[in-house]
Amino acid sequence: MPILDARTLSVARTLFVLAVGVLFVYGARHTLLAFVMAIFFAYLISPLISRVQRWRTVSRNSRALAIAQVYVVLALIITGVVLGIGPTLVADGRQLITAAPELIEKLGSGDLVHKIGSTRGWSYQTEVRVENLLVQHRDTILLWVKQFGLQVGAVLTQSFWIFLIPILAIPFLNNAPEIIEVIFRTLRLRPQARTFTEVVLQDVHSMAANYIRAQMILAGLAVVAYTVVLTASGVQDGVALGVTAGMLEFVPMVGPMIGAVLILGVAFLTGFHHILLLVLFLGCWRLLQDYFNSPRLMHDQVQLHPFVVIFAVLVGAEIAGFLGVFLSIPIAATVRIIWRSWRTYYERVTPTQVDDARRSRPNAA
């Protein structure tokens, strides 16, 4: 008699395969993240490509030709935007980066506190209190700034993936059904398992497409709003701050928080006189984004509890940094979709299986 029955061996084998899969995903997480971003990029522009493909006079009903045409148009648009606002953005960014060490040094010495206090009408006692507070926490502030710089540097060192993402997205744009069919044939799924997988993929497809487009629209709205308000109000380096903070909105939760801290920090350190109005604007914009724009763009596709969102974001940040934060919500939503679909499938299939087992069971007599 074998020590382990067939069911136990099957469960053990499944757990072993899952463990190997998890280890592989963790070890190749950076490469896999690039492919995931390529899939998200494909989701973003796929509707545009489909529309171009329907224009037979333009694309001749060729998917490949439509992809090439959309890529060329996007490249021209990006080139025009870079040539239009690129010099101003680079100049403001260079000025901001150059002034950062000097501002930090002044912050540590207390000179900047007295300068800001004199322009804002602070009393001498208030200036001394703020100076003592900053001096006491100078090392902590410098550590935060250094860690933030290291995170930005780590992202920039992997920026070459940005140029590979559109290339990696081409197979998904052109041959997505064929790729899925090859995967199904390779896995040799049974009819019931294949039906379950197709249902899950359809739900994930709808969620991911809606999520990525919504995040892009939210980031675009933020870039316009921040840039216009900061430039019109006279905040130093308003264009660079607006574009940077707006692009950070692409990263859920963490991005808007970093953008707000960056805007307020630069405005305070450069002596901007209307900090409270700036805080009011950021608060109103956050309410508009989180309670009006985002719900209408998401269409209730990402149905996650706030606690789950926070947990997923923290885990994503720990594993893969900024990209992990961005991917954490769709991955958590995908896990929820799989679990919900499996529960539905299990509740529907199990009674039938039980009846079949009862019919096949031999009589006790």
Q: What is the pLDDT of residue 226?
A: 92
pLDDT by residue for the chain (365 residues), tens only, comes to 455 667 777 777 778 877 887 788 777 767 777 787 788 788 878 888 888 888 877 777 788 888 888 889 888 888 887 777 666 666 665 666 666 666 666 555 556 666 666 666 666 677 677 767 766 766 776 677 666 666 665 555 555 667 788 888 888 888 888 888 888 788 777 777 788 888 888 888 888 877 877 888 888 899 999 999 988 888 877 888 888 888 888 877 778 888 888 888 888 777 777 888 888 999 999 888 877 887 777 655 666 777 777 788 788 777 766 667 777 888 888 888 888 888 777 666 554 543 444 444 444 33
Token code pair at residue 97: 């980066």
The tally of CA atoms less than 13 A away on the side-chain side of residue 321 is: 15
Q: What pLDDT, on the 0 to 100 scale, is given for residue 281?
A: 92
Residue-level pLDDT at 299: 56
- Tell which residue, 40, 60, 290, 50, has the closest CA to residue 174: 50
Query: Cβ neighbours of residue 44 under 8 Å, at least 6 residues apart?
Result: 212, 213, 216
Contact 252, 244 (CB under 8 A): no
Amino acid identity, position 318: E
CA distance 194 to 184: 7
Q: For the chain, what's the residue count?
A: 365
pLDDT of 280: 92
CA distance 198 to 192: 10
The answer to whether the beta carbons of residues 219 and 247 sit under 8 Å apart is yes
Query: Are the C-beta atoms of 313 and 304 separated by less than 8 Å?
Result: no
What SS3 class is residue 364? coil
Give the pLDDT confidence score for residue 358 in this predicted structure: 40
The answer to whether 254 and 231 have CB atoms below 8 angstroms apart is: no
- Name 54's Cβ contacts closer than 8 Å, sequence gap at least 6: 61
Task: Please list, in sequence order, all residues whose beta carbon lies within 8 angstroms of the beta carbon of residue 142, skipping any fewer than 6 positions away.
Answer: 104, 108
